[in-house]
Structure 1
Amino acid sequence: MKSLFVTLLILGGAFLAYDYFGAPPGKKLVFKSLNVPVKPKVVQAKPAKEEEEKPVVKEAMPEPPKPAVVEAPKPVEPAPTKPAAPATTASSGPKFEPIENLTGNWLKIPQTAFPREVKLLQDTMFKMSVGASKVAAGGKAFAIGSEGGTIILAPTATSPARGQLPIDATDLKEQLNASYEKWKIVRAEELKAIAAKKALNASSAPVEAAPSSSEADAAGKPVRDSKGAFPLLVASMHRGQVTEIKPENVLDWNDPQPVMIQGRSGWAVKLTANVKTIFGLQPVEAQALVLNGKVTGWFYTGSGEEVP
């Protein structure tokens, strides 16, 4: 019994010691005076914001376009200058028309273009009073004339046999074109020499005398002579004012027609004359302009070019 009491005493002492020393304030059962009132923790509420601050996201602005870098153009080297092609026309003479114009589009080839040897591009029959013969394509024959685009042929220069072929069945066009190109170069040089000579004569020529009554009337109009020619124009030819037209090559004189020359009243006398062409002398129309009884110039009526 004594031991039980001791045990209880020990347990009571231990409880009191724990209650005094170990129990946290506010939990003591025996020594309640030691319980310190625990102040409630005051939690300060954060002030409510009208709107929760949101992180400001800066809107990406497009970068201004960078100025384009323009490279300075590289200097272009000038192309080498090609030498000028030799002139085939002369300013003092007629322009060189296409050969088609001179041949009536190959339907009216002047007889002066014949005879000439040509190459046959197809078989050709040559007929005579007794019998006929054939020359195969690739052979040669003599073109002696043309009729509306058809070439009249002979097997030899003296043969009486005759054959016919379209012009395109021979090399005649090719031959005449080549001859024309060569002739234009030679002719251009001739015209250049003529122009230079005329310029020299004009610089040293004496003052032209007033026309006589046999050359022009009181109004300056050219008059004809007993042969139907115009002495005023013939004298102009003899003076070298025009060399392409010669008195002996004039085929026909027309009557003078009133025209305006340099803003004044004058006269134009047309004529037909044979002049030099690739096919020899061929008829062309030209006119002389007369002002105050003096010839001021000669011109081809078709092209308007000055007659050399």
Structure 2
Amino acid sequence: MKPLIVIVLALAVGYISYEYVYPPLADAMKFTKHVPKVEEPKPEVVVAPPPKPKPAPKKEPVVVMAEPKPEPKPEMKPEEPKPEMPKVPEPPPVDPNAFVAPVFPPVDELTQNWAVVPKGFFNTPKQVTIKKDLEIKMQMGKATAASTFKSGAKVFVMGQEGPNLVVGASAGSPMRGQVAMDDTDFKEVFSAAYEQVKVVQTENARKAHEYRLAAAERQKNSPAGAGGGGGGSSNDKPVKDADGTYPMLLASMKAGEVTEIKPDNIKSWGDPAQEKIDGTEYWTVNVKYETQTMFGKFETEAQARIKNGRVAKWVYTGSGEVVP
């Protein structure tokens, strides 16, 4: 029994020494405690199932497209003849000898919409009619008097002050008043007079044109080298300066033989021509100039008729009247 107890005690001492005494001694002596190796579990190999065979692709039915039948071509109808375009008549050739009428500005432009009536129109008093009853204050110097005018009464226009007319009871009355232009028939009176002047000016221009054509024809048919008759000679031909003027004509203007034509208002000088007029041979020179009228400046043509080395007369080529 004792040996068994001794064996049990020896095992107990050995176990306690190994668990509690040996570790610190082994650390001091750098011994390694034997630890039994633990085998790591081997990874399980999972065998993948074999892939399933892919199903064979379904064969789609082949659709055979039938070729489209060609559509029947429409029958071509014969083209209908297109209607001929009317021919535009060609303008007649321009006649170099045709008369060209002068162009006049319209009334509104001439009067600047009635704000500035040409002053020449008031050189002589013009009678107008009042359109409604008016009381007009007439004044002469410091004296003032009110006059009543019934619709339809006549007054005389002496001038313009803006939109108003300067009027008098008579052409020679020294009393002056003002009345609105639209309260009278002034615009109608002015327009009628302007139309009449346009007719006269156009007719004068036409006659002047005809005179020039006739003069050119006479010049063409005159004998070559013919001298001036009635005491004239070839020396009577007026001399033209380099600037286009004629000293003989300028001398006539300076001498006062014509007052309406001035060197400054001449627009063009014609060439000298030899003509027989009313049985008398002349050298003639036409000039175009601006003349002042009651409606402003208009272009006019006059002719200097030269005989025996001097200007015998100045006449309007249109009417043949003597130019003042």
Q: Give the TM-score band, short-chain normalised.
A: 0.3 to 0.5
Please give the TM-score of this superposition, normalised by the length of structure 1.
Answer: 0.44
